[in-house]
Amino acid sequence: MVIEVVILKDVEKTLSERGISVDNVREVIEHGETTGEKIYLPAENKFLAKKVIGKATFYTMYSPLEGKFTLHSAYAHRMSMKEPITIVTAETTDWVCYKCNEKLVRSNIDMEYLGITRAAPGISCPKCKLSFIEEYVAGKTLVVAESLLEKKRA
Ligand SMILES: [Zn+2]
């Protein structure tokens, strides 16, 4: 499968700030497209996929259009998700699981990093439990937690 990714200038800047390569992006989109493990916003033709590559989990938000994939954003976290995922409320989000056609709900996800576990808010499919961390959580909460835990160990 050839994944042709369209990356606009401002998104390119985000990628370099976050240390995410175009190869990472392509790999995550390919994973989402081939496995069907992705979620989407029906009103916006936007998909979110994730993949663990090396020691981090990478996320891409993209729109398929005429055989190409326009990237809206990409982010990553080094903490790893632990099972089981706890669904905290029946509060649904606008995201829909591509495989189950179910609306994702808010969840509590145990995230492990350097042997320490911290709970983080996530979104999960109530049926298959496919779970995602949203960009604002990865960019704020998890980045802070990761650097604190790194300092603690140092
Ligand atoms: Zn599902």
Look at strands 38-41 and 68-77 and give their pairing: unpaired
Joined together, the tokens standing for residue 56 give 């981090």
Residue 25 CA to ligand 1 centre (angstroms): 22
Residue 55 CA to ligand 1 centre (angstroms): 25
pLDDT at res. 95: 97
Residue 133 pLDDT > 90, yes or no? yes
**Tokens 């937690």, residue located:** 145
Cβ-based neighbours of 55, under 8 Å, separated by 6 or more:
78
Amino acid at 17: E
Residue 141 CA to ligand 1 centre (angstroms): 25
Q: Is 25 helix (H, G, I), strand (E, B) or coil?
A: helix
Residue 50 pLDDT > 90, yes or no? yes
Class of domain 80-153: alpha beta
pLDDT at res. 80: 96
Residue 124 CA to ligand 1 centre (angstroms): 8
- The residue extents of the domains of the chain are 5-77, 80-153
pLDDT at res. 38: 98
Q: Which residues of 40-50 are buried (b: 16+ CB within 10 A; e: fewer)?
A: beeeeebbbbb
Average pLDDT, stretch 122-137? 96
Cα–Cα–Cα angle for 106, 109, 110, nearest 5°?
165
Partners of 119 in the beta sheet? 110
CA 100, 11, 6, 24 torsion-angle sign = negative
Closest CA to 74 of 143, 119, 3, 17: 17
